[in-house]
């Protein structure tokens, strides 16, 4: 994982851990996460295309094939993780907007309380962000 990817994942961990955030920060994180998603998809597609080429060459290098398989698998795992995080980030954004709209509408206290973000208990998010699974 590159330093930029690591920084993004760390920032996402903080936001998804329900620390206070703004809509602008969530949008910025979403854009960065989507960029990472596109990068990983490109890496996977490139590795898979090269693997396809190598499969048609009887004298292709096993070492090159193994390296490409690792790259494709690493990109696939990264894609699964970032997509899970993006789903959670989208939900967090919806909750933030809902809370703001309810506050603007002068909603009843019970409505505003329901609109507050909820701490993630989603095991998929924990795995996607590299958190250890709860026993």
C-alpha atoms less than 13 angstroms from C-alpha of 74 in its C-beta half-sphere: 12
The predicted pLDDT at position 21 comes to 80
Domain-embedded: residue 132: no
Domain-embedded: residue 83: yes
Domain-embedded: residue 103: no
Domain-embedded: residue 42: yes
Domain-embedded: residue 117: no
Rounded to whole angstroms, the maximal C-alpha distance in the chain is: 72
Domain-embedded: residue 100: no
- Which range marks the domain in which residue 29 is found? 3-90
Name the domain count of the chain.
1
Q: Map tokens 């494709």 to a residue.
A: 72
- What does the pLDDT profile of the chain (135 residues) look like in tens digits? 677 777 787 778 777 777 778 888 888 888 999 999 999 999 999 999 999 999 999 899 999 999 999 999 999 998 998 898 888 888 888 888 888 888 888 855 554 444 444 444 444 444 455 555 444
The predicted pLDDT at position 117 comes to 45
Domain-embedded: residue 98: no
Its pTM stands at: 0.68
CATH code for position 47: 1.10.287
72 to each of 80, 102, 103, 122, how far by Cα in Å? Answer: 12, 45, 46, 26
Beta-carbon neighbour count of residue 118 at 10 Å? 10
Domain-embedded: residue 109: no
């Amino acid at each position: 994982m590159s330093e930029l990817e690591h920084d993004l994942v760390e920032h996402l961990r903080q936001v998804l851990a329900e620390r206070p955030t703004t809509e602008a920060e969530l949008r910025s994180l979403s854009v960065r996460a989507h960029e990472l998603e596109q990068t990983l998809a490109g890496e996977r597609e490139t590795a898979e295309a090269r693997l396809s080429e190598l499969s048609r060459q009887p004298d292709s290098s096993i070492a090159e094939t193994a390296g490409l398989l690792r790259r494709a698998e690493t990109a696939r795992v990264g894609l699964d993780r970032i997509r899970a995080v993006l789903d959670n980030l989208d939900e967090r954004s919806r909750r933030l907007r809902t809370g703001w709209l309810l506050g603007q509408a002068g909603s009843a206290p019970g409505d505003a309380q329901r609109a507050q973000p909820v701490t993630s208990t989603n095991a998929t998010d924990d795995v996607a962000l590299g958190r250890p699974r709860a026993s």
